[in-house]
Chain A
């Protein structure tokens, strides 16, 4: 059995968002936008004769969970929760509040869009999007009689039935996902790494338009329900990422089943993963039957490659196959690198008595 843990370690370092590079830039953009909102909102509310609202902010999404990967075919993003101290009744049409935010930010960069779940600020270089900040607008739980947060959904041209306040609890989701790793820092670290590997695998193996690919949150939820930490040596807590991935993929494949589809009035073969918090929806719901079929085929291939790598004695051969599925950031060691060298006969020990 080949040990490819070293290669997974290197792979992880290559694909994760650097704390002091990518993440720092995103943090800076986020902070500028926060300030911009605080500066411009009073004038906007005044213009519409509405009481001024001072928002508070929360990080959310993969940035907040520490599961972000460097994008391959798209731009970097950061998700930002913007909480207003209003009840849903104060703004019966949530799009109105989104418009206020949009207006406060419009012109900040060349491109500010209103999308169904958020308002997005794009940063461009040479006409191409390189970063974007997604702003999710909330009615804060402290002002709602049921004590729940609501997300403003809908956009300018939406019909009334799509302009709704949707119950949403991103902080609750983060807490739920990480509660089982309480006191288990090594398991938590491996969980994050495995999600990064799966996201990169998704970027490499699904088309760039994003339509056919499972969403990042879907990968996250499948991992949430199926991941279990694996170690090559429990005593030293030496992680075994190959085994952890294989275990996860196998369990995801086991999860595919025939589900009665109300919309199409027939059984479809699907993977289902419901959010464990509001709105409790299936994160795979928007994938078509065809896309699901491709997803299953790709997962099967991943499983076969992982099994091959597990059984292959030569790490170089194992990594060549893994590289095909995980992309060029996955390193393939030269044959001579994998040869075991003779270690020194004397090592410093910290033991005393």
Chain B
């Protein structure tokens, strides 16, 4: 973009009569590229400034409404510094070969925003983006941990002078949850705070133009909230309250769901609450504050997680290459309550396969993953057990009944067989996911076992055919081959595979876990992913017939892996039949 080009565009816009009296930008924009011109919108004469950013046409032009304050009317999508928000900058693609058309389009969009605003057709938009306008007031930023409710009530504001943070919460427990703390912070001052919910469909015009709300304006704007309250509540929240310093958190329901949160801090000489019915003669100063959403109901679903998963309890057995990824992905999916079991320590040779790298070498894997999760994520409830799973069960360190799901990522079929049997011994229905991967990237599996349907881990090892004795029938590797290779002696056996295979396997296991927890999966199913076999074959190994199935065939057959006569899941059917005949 150069001066000559801008001149051409200016003339073209002038010729199009979209704007008239077009001239060069006046101060304070006279050093920028662009131009300004007049337009009549809804009987009002306004001056638009079209400022072209240095990277134009890779970026949209900026359009300013000159003399916004003189209009005497706050308009949605135009903040106090006159910029017209006619298009979100994200999620667009521009044909940069047509700069003139981009300018023309932008001016038209801006005119439409102003027109609709002047006609008051989009006042609801103030509510949708209320927090943005409130932020422009440049108040103090305060963290919010309180999950907005439909009822107004009392809150607390904690000011930690050491960490220099102010936090709004309902109880101090929310603060413990967020940071995973076990005890109270010192150097904390507690202030009174009030939570006020406005009724749905309330429309408030934010104080964009001029000074911040007076006491009367505040009262007038939030009157619908007070009108909706019973007298008793009004007395306890406002009229009978005495506090010289306090905070009010307002929740304005959005039509698109959720609340816009904004805050007002007050200093009251007489200790009278600003929303008290009788506030005549009170000396109260008001200041806006910006609310930083840190509450669970906002953060956890925003991370792509599912809200109702946060209360589910999951037992994860195995925190190795696959298990480490599973722990992280479960948390990121919103499953916040995990118990981790692993008896093994992180060794240096795990470095390039484990999600923790070398940072925790020498530490118990479960403990190390637990600490990492507390460090990375708020609201998590994780505990770890440094034991073999059968020992933890036998010594009552855990009770399987306490969990909603058990995920097993240990790659040890003998122990997995034992866990599988436990599922059918306890009375409580406990679904499980067994997950493992195969050598040299040929694939990985996640087996969902829901004890009420047919199909369990033992089924994979159940076959009439003697060739399949103690052989996993789901395997992509042909039976009867040895894969472990000794690196530094016979105690250090490990199966070679890449970190990518581990995370891909964890991926299918976590998807399966979420589907079980939210009730989408009710039947036992075997989910397999197939990788490249080049390296595997190159090393002289053989593939099973199952490997030659296509992804579609594998998917289509995922529920039909159970033989008739499984000694574990077949057993319950017999018992059921007997019960039926009684």
Q: Are B473 and A353 in contact (CB under 8 A)?
A: no
Q: Are A340 and B466 in contact (CB under 8 A)?
A: yes
Q: Are A353 and B321 in contact (CB under 8 A)?
A: yes
By DSSP majority rule, is chain A's interface helix, strand, loop, or mixed? loop
Q: Are A186 and B545 in contact (CB under 8 A)?
A: yes
Q: How far is the CA of A351 from the CA of B442 in the complex (A)?
A: 11
Q: What are the residues of chain B within 8 A of A343 when measuring CB–CB?
A: 466, 469-470
Q: What are the residues of chain A within 8 A of B318 when measuring CB–CB?
A: 353
| Binary contact track B319-336/A, C-beta < 8 Å → 1, others 0 | 011110000000000000
Q: Are A353 and B322 in contact (CB under 8 A)?
A: yes
Say how far B431's CB is from chain A's closest CB, in angstroms: 18
Q: Are B553 and A350 in contact (CB under 8 A)?
A: no
Q: How far is the CA of A184 from the CA of B545 in the complex (A)?
A: 10
Q: What are the residues of chain A within 8 A of B410 when measuring CB–CB?
A: 353
A236's closest neighbor in chain B, by CB?
B473
Q: Are B549 and A237 in contact (CB under 8 A)?
A: yes
Q: Are A235 and B474 in contact (CB under 8 A)?
A: yes
Say how far A4's CB is from chain B's closest CB, in angstroms: 13
Query: Which stretch (B48-56, B62-70, B270-278, B479-487) binds chain A?
Result: B479-487
Q: How far is the CA of A3 from the CA of B466 in the complex (A)?
A: 11
Query: Which stretch (B122-130, B186-194, B432-440) binds chain A?
Result: B432-440
Say how far B523's CB is from chain A's closest CB, in angstroms: 16
Q: How far is the CA of A348 from the CA of B481 in the complex (A)?
A: 7
The A-contacting residues of B in range 462-478, CB under 8 angstroms, are: 463-466, 468-475, 477
Q: What are the residues of chain A within 8 A of B464 when measuring CB–CB?
A: 3, 232-233
Q: Are B474 and A353 in contact (CB under 8 A)?
A: no
Q: How far is the CA of A347 from the CA of B481 in the complex (A)?
A: 9
Q: What are the residues of chain B within 8 A of A237 when measuring CB–CB?
A: 544-546, 548-549
Confirm or deny: A185 has a beta carbon within 8 angstroms of a beta carbon on chain B.
yes
Interface centre among A186, A234, A236, A238 (most CB of B within 10 A): A236
Say how far A228's CB is from chain B's closest CB, in angstroms: 15
- Given known pairs A234-B557, A234-B560, the reply for A349 and B413 (CB within 8 Å) is yes
- Given known pairs A234-B560, A238-B465, the reply for A353 and B550 (CB within 8 Å) is no
Q: What are the residues of chain B within 8 A of A345 when measuring CB–CB?
A: 470
Confirm or deny: B150 has a beta carbon within 8 angstroms of a beta carbon on chain A.
no
Confirm or deny: B495 has a beta carbon within 8 angstroms of a beta carbon on chain A.
yes
Q: How far is the CA of A185 from the CA of B495 in the complex (A)?
A: 28
Which one, A234, A236, A239, A351, contacts B412 given CB within 8 A? Answer: A351
| Binary contact track A1-35/B, C-beta < 8 Å → 1, others 0 | 00100000000000000000000000000000000
Q: Are B463 and A233 in contact (CB under 8 A)?
A: yes
Q: How far is the CA of A185 from the CA of B465 in the complex (A)?
A: 22
Q: Are A235 and B413 in contact (CB under 8 A)?
A: no
- Given known pairs A233-B473, A234-B557, A353-B321, the reply for A348 and B482 (CB within 8 Å) is yes
Q: Are A183 and B412 in contact (CB under 8 A)?
A: no
Confirm or deny: A352 has a beta carbon within 8 angstroms of a beta carbon on chain B.
yes
Q: What are the residues of chain B within 8 A of A184 when measuring CB–CB?
A: 548-550, 553
Q: How far is the CA of A238 from the CA of B466 in the complex (A)?
A: 12
Q: Are B557 and A352 in contact (CB under 8 A)?
A: no
Q: Are A348 and B466 in contact (CB under 8 A)?
A: no
Say how far B370's CB is from chain A's closest CB, in angstroms: 18
| Binary contact track A221-245/B, C-beta < 8 Å → 1, others 0 | 0000000000011111111000000
Q: What are the residues of chain A within 8 A of B480 when measuring CB–CB?
A: 347-348
Confirm or deny: B409 has a beta carbon within 8 angstroms of a beta carbon on chain A.
yes
Q: Are A350 and B548 in contact (CB under 8 A)?
A: no
Q: Are A353 and B413 in contact (CB under 8 A)?
A: no
Q: What are the residues of chain A within 8 A of B502 when measuring CB–CB?
A: 353
Interface centre among A233, A351, A353 (most CB of B within 10 A): A353
Confirm or deny: B377 has a beta carbon within 8 angstroms of a beta carbon on chain A.
no
Confirm or deny: B238 has a beta carbon within 8 angstroms of a beta carbon on chain A.
no
Q: Are A235 and B438 in contact (CB under 8 A)?
A: no
Q: Are B553 and A348 in contact (CB under 8 A)?
A: no
Q: How far is the CA of A343 from the CA of B466 in the complex (A)?
A: 8
Which one, B436, B465, B473, B544, contacts A352 given CB within 8 A? Answer: B436
Q: What are the residues of chain A within 8 A of B436 when measuring CB–CB?
A: 351-353
| Binary contact track B506-542/A, C-beta < 8 Å → 1, others 0 | 0000000000000000000010000000000000000
- Given known pairs A185-B548, A237-B548, A352-B437, the reply for A347 and B470 (CB within 8 Å) is yes
| Binary contact track A137-152/B, C-beta < 8 Å → 1, others 0 | 0000000000000000
Q: What are the residues of chain B within 8 A of A340 when measuring CB–CB?
A: 466
Q: What are the residues of chain A within 8 A of B483 when measuring CB–CB?
A: 348, 350
The B-contacting residues of A in range 69-88, CB under 8 angstroms, are: none
The B-contacting residues of A in range 183-210, CB under 8 angstroms, are: 183-186
Q: Are B437 and A351 in contact (CB under 8 A)?
A: yes
Say how far A310's CB is from chain B's closest CB, in angstroms: 15
B460's closest neighbor in chain A, by CB?
A235
Say how far B534's CB is from chain A's closest CB, in angstroms: 16
Q: Are A232 and B439 in contact (CB under 8 A)?
A: no
The B-contacting residues of A in range 128-167, CB under 8 angstroms, are: none
Confirm or deny: B411 has a beta carbon within 8 angstroms of a beta carbon on chain A.
yes
Q: Are B465 and A235 in contact (CB under 8 A)?
A: no
Q: Are A186 and B548 in contact (CB under 8 A)?
A: yes
Confirm or deny: B561 has a beta carbon within 8 angstroms of a beta carbon on chain A.
yes
Confirm or deny: B9 has a beta carbon within 8 angstroms of a beta carbon on chain A.
no
Confirm or deny: B178 has a beta carbon within 8 angstroms of a beta carbon on chain A.
no
Q: How far is the CA of A351 from the CA of B545 in the complex (A)?
A: 17
Q: Are B544 and A353 in contact (CB under 8 A)?
A: no
B409's closest neighbor in chain A, by CB?
A353
Q: What are the residues of chain B within 8 A of A238 when measuring CB–CB?
A: 465, 468, 545
Which one, B494, B505, B553, B557, contacts A183 given CB within 8 A? Answer: B553
Q: What are the residues of chain A within 8 A of B437 when measuring CB–CB?
A: 351-353
Confirm or deny: B403 has a beta carbon within 8 angstroms of a beta carbon on chain A.
no
- Given known pairs A234-B557, A348-B482, A351-B438, the reply for A183 and B470 (CB within 8 Å) is no
- Given known pairs A235-B546, A350-B495, A351-B436, the reply for A3 and B475 (CB within 8 Å) is no
Q: Enumerate 23 A-B pairs (CB-CB under 8 Å) in ascending A order.
A: A3-B464, A3-B465, A183-B552, A184-B549, A186-B545, A186-B548, A236-B544, A237-B544, A237-B549, A238-B465, A340-B466, A343-B466, A347-B469, A348-B482, A348-B483, A350-B477, A350-B481, A350-B495, A351-B412, A351-B436, A352-B321, A353-B318, A353-B320
Can you name 10 extra interface pairs (CB under 8 A) apart from A235-B561, A236-B545, A353-B318? A183-B550, A232-B465, A233-B468, A235-B474, A348-B483, A350-B495, A351-B438, A352-B437, A353-B323, A353-B436
Residues of B within 8 A of A (CB): 318, 320-323, 409-413, 435-439, 460, 463-466, 468-475, 477, 479-484, 494-495, 497, 502, 505, 526, 544-546, 548-550, 552-553, 557, 560-561, 563
